[in-house]
Amino acid sequence: MVDILAYRVIRVLPQFANVSPERRLTVRAGGSISYRRNRGDIQGIREVFLDEFYRLPPGITPRVVVDLGANIGLTTLWLNRHYEIEKCVAVEPVPENVRLLKKNLRDNDIDCEVLEAAVASFHGTATFVAPIDSNLGHLGGGRRHDGNHHHDE
């Protein structure tokens, strides 16, 4: 795929990222993926579908998937195509990623609950920093709730 080769060019010349706001790819395992031409989406396609990073050892057959930081749903799609998943939950805080995540699930007939939220080691509210590379987001400052106490981060 040309976009996989463009991955390295985008890193050096970021002005070529997001030339096309949304693209579509048909995958060998069946189905299709909607993605953007940015390093995060392209790197995810390479890791998940070409390198099969999430292939589990023989004998492990998951029935439940909880995808924390689901991005546009690549891992969720791959796991649902390769295993008999009965229950699926995808958690993603970035609205544009959530839009593509839901579209990818719908277009591939995958029943998965989507939670638009971030995951942290504390209960509370925080700012999510979402850079242009869609897979490099992280929690910024926020307000942590520990029982009856509040701590600013």
Sorted by sequence, the CB contacts under 8 Å of residue 65 that are 6+ apart come out as 76, 79, 80, 85, 87, 88, 89, 90, 112
With bands split at pLDDT 50, 70 and 90, how would you rate the model's confidence at 46?
very high
The pLDDT of residue 10: 47
Question: Where residue 40 sits, what CATH number does that domain have?
Answer: 3.40.50
The phi and psi torsions of 7 (rounded to 5 degrees) equal -50, -50
Count structural domains, the chain.
1
Max avg pLDDT among 3-12, 47-56, 141-150: 47-56
pLDDT tens-digit series, residues 94-151 = 999 999 999 999 999 999 999 999 887 777 777 777 665 555 666 666 555 555 555 4
Q: Which of 142 and 21 is assigned the larger pLDDT?
A: 21
Q: What is the mean pLDDT of the segment spanning 79-107?
A: 95
Residue 71 has pLDDT above 90, yes or no: yes
Share of the chain above pLDDT 90, in %: 51
Residue 68 bridge partners (DSSP): 91
Does pTM surpass 0.85? no
> In 17-43, which positions are buried (b, 16+ CB within 10 angstroms) versus exposed (e)?
beeeeeeeeebeeebebbbbbbbbbbb
The pLDDT of residue 138: 61
In the numeric block, which tokens belong to residue 99?
């839009």
- Report CA 57 to chain centroid distance, whole Å: 22
Q: What is the mean pLDDT of the segment spanning 22-44?
A: 87
Range of the domain at 100: 2-152
